[in-house]
Chains A and B, each alone.
Chain A
Amino acid sequence: MLDRRAFVKELLSDRGDLLVVSGLGSPTYDTAAAGDHPLNFYLWGAMGGTAMIGLGLALAQPNRRVAVLTGDGDMLMGIGSLATIGVKQPNNLAIVVLDNAHYGETGMQPSATKSGIDLVATALACRFKLARAVSRIEEATGVRELLHSGEGPILVSARIKEEDVPRVLPIRDGHVIKNRFIEALKS
């Protein structure tokens, strides 16, 4: 099982012009812990919508790479968006599900993936070009390469440890998060 912070830090190392959308709760904290960046769109709510924000961004910026980092709870809530993404086949979009099979923000209640509901198989059934699970830190470099050059849509289920790690809180003002992202993308 992966240490979530070490894994995300590796994914976002030497990130270049990668565009990142992070799902509410721990994935947003993990993304912030890897280093604040104006091309991070941190979600603090809108549960279930992270992958679709990634799709809208990927369609608008076909020459840039878009990475969605989110949790199993958010991905399950927006599971229909895997079908929507599969229809559009954005080749520049990759989703990494940080999957601890629990709802960490609310007290670690088990999620559907705990019962074996398989997001990798779901993504493949939704015509994702590539979907796989990873559980060893040695695999992080390969996932990072997928974010930068893999043919999308891609989904990686990263099996992370069931642990509560200290929160790293990025900016919370949605207007600021949005505006600095848009400005950074223009420049």
Chain B
Amino acid sequence: MPSGTILQTLAKIETSWPDTIYAHLRRVGVRQVGYVPDAGHSRLIEHCQADNSITDVVLTTEEEGVGLVAGAALGGQRAALLMQSSGVGNCINMFSLLKNCGFGCVIFVTMRGEFGEFNPWQVPMGAITEDVLRLAGFLTYRIDEADDIDDVVGAACDMAFDGNLQVAILLSQRLIGRKQWTK
């Protein structure tokens, strides 16, 4: 079993891409970050919690985050959202707020229900996440390779906040690593 190799690969991935996202959030001046806790986003959440210039807001459901983004923008601050693909489904009607008013928004979506998914209950929402986002008016960019993170996240943040566009980055399960069920 090449498990040592797999674990090393996962560890390397997990320590690199959240740092890059965090660096871009800092670069574009994001001041509020809303999230429902998620294993894939845990490192990025920790960065935000440790940063005094960022207010982290733990949400009871992802759609609250859409309101948070709008309120922050009204008050002159940029906000970003972190969620799992299942959380996208919770937001659909609230996304209309972003379209109706032209609030720039960037969402980082950790994917479930695709590559190597152990839990079939994650599959129905994961399989339609990108389509749902597009129907709701989002530009979507999917990232499978860690090498693409810097370019894509940078471009997405600029488009969202310079153009008041709604942009979602889908962080694929292949990038994040399969959820481990061995313990």
Interface residues of A (CB under 8 A from B): 19, 21, 41, 43-61, 64, 78, 80-81, 83-84, 87-88, 174-175, 177-178, 181-182, 185-186
Which listed residue, A46, A61, A177, touches B75 by the CB 8 Å rule? A61
Total contacts A to B, CB within 8 angstroms?
Answer: 123
Closest to B68 in A: A56
Interface-located stretch among B13-21, B96-104, B126-134: B96-104
Which residue of B61, B75, B93, B101 contacts A59 across the interface (Cβ within 8 Å)?
Answer: B75
Q: Say whether B74 contacts A80, CB under 8 Å.
A: no
Contacts A49-B64, A178-B101; A59 near B57 (Cβ below 8 A):
yes
**Complex A-B, nearest 8 residue pairs according to Cβ-Cβ distance, in ascending order:** A56-B71, A60-B75, A52-B67, A80-B60, A174-B100, A49-B67, A174-B101, A60-B77
A52→B64 contact, CB < 8 A:
yes
Chain A's nearest CB lies how many Å from the CB of B98?
Answer: 9
A45-B71 CB under 8 A given contacts A56-B79, A80-B60, A84-B60: no
Q: Which parts of B37-58 form the interface with A (CB within 8 Å)? A: 55, 57-58
**Chain B hits for A181, CB < 8 A:** 74
B65-88: CB near A (< 8 Å → 1, else 0) gives 111111111111101000000000
Q: Which of A21, A55, A58 has the most chain B CB atoms closer than 10 A to its own CB?
A: A55
Residues of A contacting B59 with CB < 8 Å? 80, 84
Of the candidates B32, B55, B57, B71, the one having the most CB atoms from chain A within 10 angstroms of its own CB is B71
A55, B60: Cβ atoms under 8 Å? Answer: no
How far does the Cβ of B87 sit from chain A's closest Cβ, in whole Å?
Answer: 13
| B114 at the binding interface (Cβ < 8 Å) | no
Q: A84-B57, A178-B101 are in contact. Are A57 and B96 (CB under 8 A)?
A: no
* Chain A interface SS verdict (over half): helix
A59-B100 Cα distance, complex, nearest whole Å = 23
A47-B103 Cα distance, complex, nearest whole Å: 17
A166: min CB distance to chain B, Å:
25
- Does A49 contact B94, Cβ atoms closer than 8 Å? yes
A177-B102 Cα distance, complex, nearest whole Å: 11
B158 is an interface residue with CB less than 8 A from chain A:
no
B117 at the interface (CB under 8 A from A): no
- Complex-state Cα separation, A57 to B72, whole angstroms: 5
Residues of B within 8 A of A61 (CB): 75-76
Give the distance in Å from the alpha carbon of A57 to the alpha carbon of B57 in the complex: 13
